[in-house]
Structures are given as structure tokens and as C-alpha cells.
Chain A
Amino acid sequence: MELLSGADMLIRSLQDEGIEYVYGYPGGAALHIYDALFRQDKVKHILVRHEQSAVHMADGYARATGKPGTVLVTSGPGATNTITGIATAFMDSIPMVVLCGQVASTLIGEDAFQETDMIGVSRPVVKHNLSVRHPEEIPEVIRKAYYIAATGRPGPVVVDIPKDMTTPNERYEYAYPKKVKLRSYNPAIRGHAGQIKKAVDMLLAARRPIIYAGGGVILGKASDQLTELVRMLGYPITNTLMGIGCYPASDKQHLGWLGMHGTYEANMAMHHSDLILAVGARFDDRVTNATEKFCPGARIIHVDIDPASISKTVEADVPIVGPVDAVLKEMLSLVKEAKQKPDADALAAWWKQIGEWRAFHGMRYETSDDVIKPQEVIETLHRLTNGEAFVTSDVGQHQMFAAQYYKFDKPNRWINSGGLGTMGFGLPAAMGVKLTHPDDEVLCITGEGSIQMNIQELSTCKQYNLPVKIINLNNQALGMVKQWQDMNYESRHSQSYMESLPDFIKLAEAYGHKGVRIDSKADLESKLKEVLAMKDDLVFVDIYVDRFEHVYPMQVARGSMKDMWLSKTERV
């Protein structure tokens, strides 16, 4: 058997795991590992400018490819800088392994230089964390980390590696374990057959059914099964912000997404339904609004890989724990075999009602002859890219506009921080996507507040030639904060102005990129066309949009699903 140092075992383990990219930043405690990285060329390392970006890059990569992302950082500040990114991945169940250097085991607990208890610090925001106690353990620890990160409900796993575990002076026999067995970790591999049968009977007997799909459908690679089931039943479907793309947005059965800024018809249909089939969605408070007023007439079937997600905020009548693809497949075959068919009259009446809601308030906004509306920018981008782009976003009004007006027909193309709501996510996530999809259009839709949180990554984009398009919806304010202040604090705009904005065009140029400013409505389409034609360049597009625009629809705080503002003056 081959003899390798701990550091070489670590890198070899990544190779054997099939890892192509590691995003990271070197430092003292990780130097043996970085040296091992230098002496091979299978695992490629991307040097970011801030560790938070390394995690968001790994995250964007994971969301676009469905494979776990990998991060490598040093101890102390290197490790703590990853926490926001780890928490982001944790909230959205993104598979990821974060390798952190640690001071030598002999120094742990002595407040050594660049020492932090990363196991303790990361504990509340990881699926699991592991520390290496003997160099021989490294291959097994790495195998375990990826296994835990990618199976069941996915999530980030932190591995803490003391420097003396990687020293080049000691060598050990290397063998990468093929299988992992953890007696205490056994994610479900199929749903309960009896419960699935019961669910299908209820589905076929429903009069006002709706399917509510979440990010779990995308993570569980179950879009095809879901689409087939929805079409076969002929029922309306809505999805969460995280579930965007799990069912084609352009399809007539799709009601748009639901919840706080969801469509009128999706929220009305949910509220008035008599049966909800929830798939890979967790009844987040941004969806349900006040849970005590949630869908009073509906019974709920809840399919989720994570038993703890079921009946956490809203009680389920039929819980089904299992992988969504396997459960949906079983549902499909039961529906095919079933003698009972959906009640055609009831369904027609239900669609007629939904049609009226749609006609009353489909997605719309007021246009103007001179100012550029943010919604128009997104609609134009959708048209010019044929709805085929990968779109990452930051957090705020621009995120909601992007999700509302870019119609996604495919999964894994809409990439945003849904659960944690992390500003600074968009650009590094876009870089992670572009790296593995060099021929696809990758748009980072952002705002002038968000982009400044990780703008240093323009430098990384230059180094690795990542020609993403940054679409900055510049309203010179923290738009969503300002909107809430308009609505709830009598327009007292406490600290929501972005004063002293940089000249983003010059900034982009300083980093070696192109910059384009759009400040007149007449130029919008033609200039965006030019930008999209610049295939080989990163272009920072600074668009001056309406400073007073709000995101609508918007649910009324502590109301039911159907209590909404449809515009600044119209409440239903």
C-alpha cells in the first residue's frame, strides 16, 4: 500500500471522491495542505478574495450542478469568515464540505495564534461537523463528510484539520473507503407505501386541489416526476421561491410562486384549496404568513426527506417521509392504475375560479415613459436570453423582481439565498456557476447595496476569466428596507440610503472588466443586447431604475395567505 502524508491523503481523498474544484484561501494552518495541492493537477483550486465568497462559490456550483461544493480555508479568521456562507447553505440544504485548517492539536485550547473552536462556532449552522484526531483517519473522515453532506436532506459539513495531522514528516498507508456505515444515520430510501396509497386516494377525491412544491424537488432531482404527475392530474401547481424551475413557469397549470411576494392567484388558490400536496417544501413563514390563519379548509399531504420538517409549523394530515423522486414515482404509478379519476366537473369549476383570480390580478406593474422600471429590466433580460440563462441574485427588491419576472422553465437555473437571505451571495454564486457552465449565459442580478458586500471578487473573476454579467438594479437605496420603512415606519428612511456610491463603471474597469451604464428607458433594450453580445467579457451593467418602486404583490403582515397588498393603494 502507498505511504502518504496527512496532507497528501487529504488531497488524494478529494481526487478519489471526484472533486474537480476547491474554492479557498490559504493561511498558516492550511499550508501543508496547500503544498500538497500544488504538487498535483487533478483538483483545481480557485483563489477567492474573501473566504465568504469561497463558500458562496461552492454553493452556486452545487446548486447549478447538483454536486457537493468544496471549500478549503485556514484556521481562525479564515474559518470564521466562512460562517455566513455555511449558514446560507444550511438554510437552503445545499450539499457542501468545508475543510478548515486548525492550529496543531498540541496548541488547541491555548488561545494560540489564529485559533478558534470551529467545531463549536459552526455547530448550529451545519448538518454535521467532524474533526481529524489521527492522520490515518483522514480518508475515512473525508468520505464520511461527503456522504453526510450529499445524502438524505443535504447540507454543509465542516471538517476541522489540526496542522500536525497534515505534516509531511509522517506517512501512513492510504486507502479510500468505498462505503460508509454510520449506525446512527440512515436516511429514508422510500416512503411508506400505505401512506402513499392514502395520499393518492385523497388526491383523486379532492375538489379544489393544489400542489405546493419546494426546493426539495430540485435538490431531490424530482422535477420530471413532479411535472408528469401534475400534468396527469391536471391540477394547479405553485412553488416556493426555492422551488422556482421545478415545474415550467410557462405552463398553464403553473400559478407562479406563492407567499409573501407570490402571485395573487397562487395565494388565493392555496387559501381556498381543500387539499394541499406539499412536496419538498417546509411551510416557511415567508410562505404561510400567520399559521393560525393558514388555509382553513385544506387537508395536507406532506412529502419530505426530513421528518423534522413535517408538522413543524403547520400540521400535516398525511406525513410521508422519503426521497421526493421515489415517492412521486410511486404516486404516479398508483394514479395510473387507479380506477377513480379526478372529478372533472369539480376540477373545471376550480380552474374557472382560478382563471378569475388570474384575470383580476396577474403579475403587473405600472410603466412610465421616462424612468426605467426594475421589472422591465428583468422582462427584457428574459426575452433577450430566451429564458435560458442561469440567474443568481442577491437579496432585496431586485431578488423579488428577478424571481417574479424571469420565467424559469428548468430547475437549477434560479440560484439565490432563500432561507438566510444573504446579501453578497449573488456574485460569488454566479462565479461558481460560470466556472462549470462556461458556454451558458450567467446573470447576477443585484442591487448597489448587495453587490458592495462582496465586490472584491471582481478580482477573482479577472484571474479565472469568468465573464458573468452583473446587472445592478441601482435605486440608490436599500430598496427592500426602504419599502418596509415606507409601509410601516411612515417613510422614515433610517439608514436605508446608499450615499457616496462608487462609480461602478470605473470600478469594473479598475479590475480589468467592462462597464456599461443605462439611465434612459430608450436605451434599455439595445444596450442590454450589446452587453449580452460581449460573450468574453465580464460586464458590470449599472442600471438606474425607479427609486420609488415597491415590490407587489405583498402579503399583509400576520394575515392569511390571501391578505395582500396588490399595489401601494390596493389591498384585498
Chain B
Amino acid sequence: MRRIISVLLENEPGALSRVVGLFSQRNYNIETLTVAPTEDETLSRLTVTTTGSDKVIEQITKQLNKLIEVVKLVDLTEGAHIERELMLIKLKATGSQRAEIKRTVDIFRGQIVDVTSSVYTVQLAGDSEKLDGFIQAVGTSGVLEVVRTGVSGIARGEKVLSL
């Protein structure tokens, strides 16, 4: 099962490598990983998506909690949550394709952020499935380049992950 684990981490050199190292060392898989400092600059917020049975996920969270620099963590998939991923995608856009792509971008509520005579660069945010859906809709033959950030997640409602 796919899980989203959100971690508050001391913002110190080497802390991220400890988290990443733990996954490879214990044979766990990282699907996506995003990390950036929070409003409190001593803390980083890290979102990792991974797959595994309940038993494996329990071990992952326990082992992460053992790391001295991990302050707090939560498995977002245990409750209602919002997840977003940002994609920048460069598409071949000539002739009739230009209008077609524009329409598809509007439907997916994306934005064209760069234009040349033959290329559109599109920015799109949403959950991973939506981004996959967009790529499918425009058809892979027109795709020149894709870059995705990996998932960021946050719990819905009052629940917060903070000190």
C-alpha cells in the first residue's frame, strides 16, 4: 500500500542523508522525497512516499523515530489529507497542436509558463494521479521533457505536525 510519511527534522547538515540512508540500509523503497526548511528555520519538513505492508510501514516509522534528528513524524495516509505535486512539462506545440494543448491545459487548470514558436512549457499542480492523467491526455509523443517535484502533503482540518 502507498503511504505518505511526513517528518519534522532538525535542519542540520547530514540529517537528510541519515533518513535516506536508513531506507536503503533496511531495504525500504523511497518513491518520492521532498524536503525544505519550515517557517521555523531550525526545522525541515520532509515528505516521503513509499509502499509496504502495515508491518513494513510500522518498522519504517519506528526506525525513523529512532534517528536522533527526527523530531516528530506522522503517517498522513492514516487520516484525511491533501497531497500536491508540481510538474513542469515541455510539449511540442506547432500548428493545430497549439490550440489543442491550450484547451487541455485549461481543463487540468494548468498554466503555460513559457512559449516559443514550437514549444509550450506547462506548469501543473495536483496529486500524482492528476499529473499522470495530464501526460496521458496530451499523448506521450508530444512530450519533450518532464520534471516533477515529488509529493508534499499536509493533514486536513485542525490537525498539525509541529512542535
Q: Which of A123, A128, A311 contacts B58 (CB 8 A)?
A: A311
Q: Which of B10, B21, B65, B163 contacts A124 (CB 8 A)?
A: B21
Q: CB within 8 Å of B: which of A205-256? A: none
The chain A residue with its CB closest to the CB of B71 is: A184
> Is A307 in the interface zone, CB < 8 Å from B?
yes
* Contact indicator B68/A123 (Cβ below 8 Å): no
* Contact indicator B17/A123 (Cβ below 8 Å): yes
**Secondary structure of the B side of the interface?**
helix
Instruction: Give Cα A184–Cα B70 distance, bound, in whole angstroms.
Output: 6
A185 to chain B, nearest CB (A): 5
> Is B159 in the interface zone, CB < 8 Å from A?
no
> Is A136 in the interface zone, CB < 8 Å from B?
no
The chain B residue with its CB closest to the CB of A185 is: B68
B45 to chain A, nearest CB (A): 14
A420 to chain B, nearest CB (A): 15
> Is B14 in the interface zone, CB < 8 Å from A?
yes
The chain B residue with its CB closest to the CB of A306 is: B66
* Contact indicator A308/B71 (Cβ below 8 Å): no
Q: Which of B17, B59, B66, B68 contacts A120 (CB 8 A)?
A: B17
Instruction: Give Cα A183–Cα B59 distance, bound, in whole angstroms.
Output: 22
A31 to chain B, nearest CB (A): 26
> Is A477 in the interface zone, CB < 8 Å from B?
no
> Is B51 in the interface zone, CB < 8 Å from A?
no
Give the interface size bracket for B toward A.
10 to 19
* Contact indicator B10/A119 (Cβ below 8 Å): no
Known: A123-B21, A124-B21, A148-B68. A184 touches B62 (CB 8 A): no
Known: A128-B68, A307-B62, A308-B62. A184 touches B10 (CB 8 A): yes
Instruction: Give Cα A535–Cα B2 distance, bound, in whole angstroms.
Output: 64
Q: CB within 8 Å of B: which of A115-153? A: 119-120, 123-124, 127-129, 131, 148
* Contact indicator B62/A182 (Cβ below 8 Å): no
**Secondary structure of the A side of the interface?**
mixed
> Is B32 in the interface zone, CB < 8 Å from A?
no
A122 to chain B, nearest CB (A): 11
* Contact indicator A119/B66 (Cβ below 8 Å): no
Q: CB within 8 Å of B: which of A255-290? A: none
Q: CB within 8 Å of B: which of A307-334? A: 307-308, 311-312
The chain B residue with its CB closest to the CB of A152 is: B66
- Contacts of B55 on A, CB cut-off 8 Å? 311
- Contacts of B10 on A, CB cut-off 8 Å? 184
Q: Which of B59, B68, B163 contacts A182 (CB 8 A)?
A: B68
Instruction: Give Cα A185–Cα B58 distance, bound, in whole angstroms.
Output: 19
- Contacts of A307 on B, CB cut-off 8 Å? 62, 65-66
* Contact indicator B25/A124 (Cβ below 8 Å): yes
Known: A119-B14, A184-B70, A184-B71. A308 touches B59 (CB 8 A): yes
* Contact indicator B71/A183 (Cβ below 8 Å): yes
* Contact indicator B59/A184 (Cβ below 8 Å): no
Residues 175-197 of chain A, each 1 if its beta carbon lies under 8 Å from chain B, else 0: 00000001111000000000000
A131 to chain B, nearest CB (A): 8
Instruction: Give Cα A131–Cα B63 distance, bound, in whole angstroms.
Output: 22
> Is B127 in the interface zone, CB < 8 Å from A?
no
Known: A119-B14, A184-B68, A184-B70. A308 touches B63 (CB 8 A): yes
B38 to chain A, nearest CB (A): 14
A548 to chain B, nearest CB (A): 39
The chain B residue with its CB closest to the CB of A184 is: B71
> Is B18 in the interface zone, CB < 8 Å from A?
yes
Instruction: Give Cα A185–Cα B15 distance, bound, in whole angstroms.
Output: 14
Most buried by B among A124, A131, A148: A124
The chain B residue with its CB closest to the CB of A124 is: B25
Q: CB within 8 Å of B: which of A7-56? A: none
Instruction: Give Cα A123–Cα B55 distance, bound, in whole angstroms.
Output: 25
The chain A residue with its CB closest to the CB of B10 is: A184
* Contact indicator A183/B65 (Cβ below 8 Å): no
- Contacts of B62 on A, CB cut-off 8 Å? 307-308
* 22 residue pairs A–B, Cβ–Cβ below 8 Å: A119-B14, A123-B17, A123-B21, A124-B21, A124-B25, A127-B68, A129-B14, A131-B14, A148-B68, A183-B71, A184-B70, A184-B71, A184-B72, A185-B68, A307-B62, A307-B65, A308-B62, A308-B63, A308-B65, A308-B66, A311-B55, A311-B58
Interface set of A (CB-CB < 8 Å, partner B) = 119-120, 123-124, 127-129, 131, 148, 182-185, 306-308, 311-312
Ordered nearest first, which 3 A-B pairs have the shortest CB separation? Answer: A308-B62, A184-B71, A128-B68
